[in-house]
Amino acid sequence: MKAPTITAPLDMRQSALLEFSADIANFKIRRSDRARYLSIQVHPPGVVEVVVPRRMAVREVESFVNAHANWIRETCAGMSRRHLDPGTEPPSKISLSAMDREWSVSYNPNPQARLRVAESNTALEVFGASDDAARRRALLNWLRRKARAFMVPAVGALALQTGLRPRAIQIRAQRSRWGSCSSNKTLSLNLCLLFQEPELVRYLLIHELCHLRQMNHSPRFWTLVEQFSPGGRLLDQRLNDGWTRIPGWLLTEL
């Protein structure tokens, strides 16, 4: 399932000579073999990605971006208004709604220590990370392990209930989607799901499992989803706001 990515309208006729001054912190341009058209996508909390067909000239891209500069700024501003946690400092606690658990986080300043996160029932201690970036990365790695330990059995239980069994499960850290299902039957799940309520996580897992049978979002697909997750379409909409529940320190690492 995709995040509420907003795609700019493709209208080359608007290519005015607007200067695109980069007051946007996170701006990426990506060449794609598969893209047939130029597109601008804005991912929460304001990451701008311009996807460019392989052979397109840079000048054409520039004029397209310039033509959409106002749209890009407004969309980014709208997204950052919706994000309540702009902080990037490493956290003093981590709450994982999916598991209904919370840990306090402390940082051991000993510079000699090996990089690791020690975990007890209610506390984490980060060793060997001397700056904020290293601390965030250590916690991201911990989250990755936590997500795997949580998602694999959860998918296993739902596979039994639904009869839909993936071949493999990947854990990803990304801002563009909650999950996906590839044609070789691999589920990719975003570790940010750990910050969502259990019923939303369950819904998302069912959504992706149903893609094992229907690789599309056809009415048939939704009927299958509703069979295992009643009210699935509403849960789908609620998950769109899930990006606002991801802490700022984590967003900066995605």
24 is a site residue for Zn ion (CB under 5 A): no
Q: What does the DSSP assignment read for 186-223?
A: EEEEEGGGGGS-HHHHHHHHHHHHHTTT-SS--HHHHH
Using CB under 5 A, which residues numbered 107 to 146 contact Zn ion? none
Q: Closest CB to Zn ion among 108 and 218?
A: 218
- Closest approach, Cβ 7 to Zn ion, in A, equals 17
Q: Closest CB to Zn ion among 1 and 115?
A: 1
- Closest approach, Cβ 154 to Zn ion, in A, equals 18
- Closest approach, Cβ 211 to Zn ion, in A, equals 6
- For 45-48, the CB contacts below 8 A with 24+ separation are 45/79, 45/80, 45/82, 45/83, 45/86, 45/175, 45/243, 45/251, 46/75, 46/76, 46/77, 46/79, 46/80, 47/175, 48/24, 48/72, 48/76
My answer on whether omega of the bond before 45 falls inside 30° of 0, hence cis, is yes
- Closest approach, Cβ 31 to Zn ion, in A, equals 26
Task: Tell me how far apart the alpha carbons of residues 152 and 168 are, in angstroms, rounded to a whole number.
Answer: 9
Half-sphere exposure of 103 (CA within 13 A, CB side): 21
4 is a site residue for Zn ion (CB under 5 A): no
Q: Closest CB to Zn ion among 1 and 99?
A: 1
- Closest approach, Cβ 127 to Zn ion, in A, equals 40
Task: Please give the backbone phi and psi of residue 91, each rounded to the nearest 5 degrees, phi first.
Answer: -75, 160
226 is a site residue for Zn ion (CB under 5 A): no
Q: Closest CB to Zn ion among 1 and 18?
A: 1
- Closest approach, Cβ 147 to Zn ion, in A, equals 19
1 is a site residue for Zn ion (CB under 5 A): yes
Count the residues of the shown chain that bind Zn ion, applying the rule CB under 5 A. 1
Residue 66: how many other CB atoms lie within 10 Å? 17
- Closest approach, Cβ 203 to Zn ion, in A, equals 11
Using CB under 5 A, which residues numbered 153 to 182 contact Zn ion? none
Report the helix count and the strand count for the chain, using DSSP H and E.
7, 11
Q: Closest CB to Zn ion among 1 and 69?
A: 1
- Helix-helix angle 219-228:232-240, to 10 degrees: 100
Q: Closest CB to Zn ion among 179 and 247?
A: 179
The span of 1-9, 93-101, 118-126, 151-159 binding Zn ion (CB under 5 A) equals 1-9
Q: Provide the binding-site residues for Zn ion, judged by CB under 5 A.
A: 1
